[in-house]
Structure formats: C-alpha cells, structure tokens
Amino acid sequence: MAKTSKNVIVTGGASGIGFAIVKRFVASGAHVHVLEVNKENAEKNLSEFGDTVTFHPCDVSDPGQVRTVVDGIAAASPVDILINNAGIAHIGNVENTMPEDMDRLYSVNIKGVYNCMHCVIPHMKKNGGGVILNMASIASSVGILDRFAYSMTKGAVLTMTLSVAKDYLQHNIRCNCISPARIHTPFVDGFLKDNYPGKEDEIFDKLSKTQPIGRMGEPEEVAALAYFLCSDEASFLTGTDYPIDGGFIKLNGQ
C-alpha cells in the first residue's frame, strides 16, 4: 500500500464500515479525524491507533457542532479527504413509517452529509481541491422491501453526490459515492440477536444468499474501495456511484 500524508475526516468511524475505513487509511500513513457520536465505541475501538487518529465527539446532524469541529481540523492542517459514512437504519414501509422516523433519518443520513460537505468544501476550495466520498446504498438504486425512509435518504445521498461533483469540477474537488449491499458488521449481528433469538445462524445464511455471490460483504472490502476512490490513482473518477454488492443490483432474478 502506497504511503500518504493525507489529512482525512471520517464520520461514524468507530465501528463497522467506518472503522474499517479508518484502519485502511491509518495503514497508508494518513492522519484520520473521526467524527463520532458514540463516545463509548470511539474510546474502545480507536485507542489502538494512538496519535494517528483524533477522535472528535460530534453529532453530524448538528450544524454548529460540525462547523466547530471541521474549522478546528482545517485550522491545524488542510483537509484532503472527507468520507461521509455516518448513518442510521430504519425498517418500515410508507404506512408504518411515522413522521418522527422520517425526521430522525433525515437529520442524520441527509442533513448530516450536507452539514459536513457544507463545512468542508470551502476549506477544500481554499486549498486547491480535495476528495469527498459519500456512503450511499443499493437502496439508492433498487427497491428494497420495508426500507421506505432509509431508501429515501440514500437516494438523496446519491443525488447530492452528483450535484457536488458537477458544481465543484473547477475547484478540483472530486465527489463519488459507494453503494454497499449487506455487509457483515456488528450491527447485523446485533439485529439478528435482537430479532431472531435462537435462529441467528439460519437468518444470517438466508440474508447472505440474497447476494448472488452467496455471502455478505466484509467491511474491509468496502474500505479497500473507499481507499482507492480517494487516492491519487482515482484522479479521473468523479460523479459516480460504485456498487459493492455481490451482484445484487444487476444479477438478482436472472
């Protein structure tokens, strides 16, 4: 892996895919700033990186908190890369999704991404460019059962990505997004334990087989794609969504 001295911001970087992304960038020599609302996860998981990772307690849905943290990071060193990974899930169709569910999903999955880009882009412009990578989902592109609010938010992430990529071409700012299918994270294990006690293995196998490739993805596989898309080797890539889905979008039902 090529070494880099990039200054990277990762939201929601204390667990799951975000943590794998942090680990990948640290291994490359980058300094990573993790914006994370879950202090317990951050203190437990990020301590292994020492001073190569800086934890910033931050609720990305709060524009004031995001502004304070981002401006502080940028004042110390130029921000090269922003990875908007923080997000929350919801299960439900349009009938059983309540207004408060919509507001909660919007505040983190849409407004959180907006807040971070809104605060980071002026610094990137001032510094001559940068890279933004947003975490979308296969739900941005295809219908997923009982994911009404979640799909709405991830569709917005996809279109925000396209808009930012178009608007900031002249400022040397690239913006792409990744659309994972099911990835085996601690969230999945917790979901199975809470909702299918005693049947965890059975349901895990069933969910794994919804990907044509026959398994869930691993966080490290998403991190590898994220690292490439943010690297100088990907300098010709912008304004595109990159599914990492085991064939889900194109091969299901064929």
The catalytic residues are 150
26 in Cβ contact with 52 (< 8 Å): yes
CA torsion, ordered 206, 17, 248, 153, to nearest 10 deg: 110
- Name the token pair of 195: 């909702």
Is 122:78 a contact under the CB 8 Å cutoff?
A: no
Phi, psi of 132 (to 5 degrees): -120, 130
How far apart are the C-alpha atoms of 79 and 77, rounded to whole Å? 6
- Helix boundaries (H) for 46-147: 63-76, 99-105, 111-127
Q: Where are the beta strands (DSSP E) in the chain?
A: 7-11, 31-36, 53-57, 81-84, 130-135, 173-180, 241-244
Side-chain-side CA neighbours of residue 240 (13 Å): 11
Exposure string of 84-94, with b = 16+ CB inside 10 Å and e = fewer, is bbbbbebeeee
